[in-house]
Amino acid sequence: AEELMINSEKLSLAGQLAAGIAHEIRNPITAIKGFVQLMRNGYAEKKEYFDIIASEITRIEMILNELLILAKPQTVKLERQDIRVLLAQVTTLLDTQAILNNVQIVTEFSPGITHISCDENQLKQVFINFIKNAIEAMPGGGEIVIRLKREGTDRIRLSIIDQGCGIPEHVLGRLGQPFYTTKENGTGLGFMVSKRIIENHHGTVKVTSCENSGTTVDVVLPLAHEQQTGI
């Protein structure tokens, strides 16, 4: 009976995903098809048409990139990395977006060993997702604190704290559900993919939020074993 239940749970998540993918990808395809038809029927080839087509294709690419991470958890390649270095690279990458949005990113790293065993690109994807969500939650600008602190003896806690719009109770309950977004241009995949990556790294993620005052995303990850240092 237990096995059956697990199977049907899997089926419903797969079904949920399939329905979501079909829906999310059909919209941009319908738009692209429409503009291609317009041009084929002799309507002037306006630059705007190409712009829309290009941005709709980018949207499909974005969705597929995020889905591929879900489809290929077995390709996780673990390497010893300093989480501080990964975070520095990610914040540099997001600098322009932060500046354009009047957002200041402040880092508070407590001293100590911050090496973890991880797939660098996947974990960066997680940090990008959470920091982007924080930036997007503060349309009027504000501050994001990125805090690193030892958790117990063998783990590290990364907190991403924003002063944004916060997450209402009913949205909090749907976080991680595929394609659930409150944004005009959101995919609603970022959180689900991030959670999956963190779990693949034997970590946990927790969100605490207060409407109109901000959100904290806490990620706890195991530190790399000492013997892996080599030197």
Q: Site residues (CB under 6 A) for ligand ADP?
A: 129, 133-134, 137, 162, 164-167, 171, 175, 180-183, 186-191, 215
Which residue is associated with the tokens 């941005």? Answer: 55
Smallest distance from Mg ion to CB 49, Å? 28
CB nearer to ligand ADP: give 81 or 187.
187
CB nearer to ligand ADP: give 104 or 229.
104
- DSSP string covering 78-127: -EEEEHHHHHHHHHHHHHHHHHHTTEEEEEEE-SS--EEEE-HHHHHHHH
- Total Cβ atoms within 10 A of residue 27: 12
Helices (H), the chain: 2-40, 47-71, 83-100, 120-136, 169-172, 190-200
Identity of the amino acid at 90: V
Smallest distance from ligand ADP to CB 135, Å? 9
**Nearest to Mg ion by Cβ — which residue?**
190
Binding mask 118-147 for Mg ion (x = CB under 5 A): ---------------x--------------
Closest CA to 91 of 140, 156, 148: 148
Binding mask 84-123 for Mg ion (x = CB under 5 A): ----------------------------------------
119 binds, among Mg ion, ligand ADP, none (CB under 5 to 8 A by kind): none
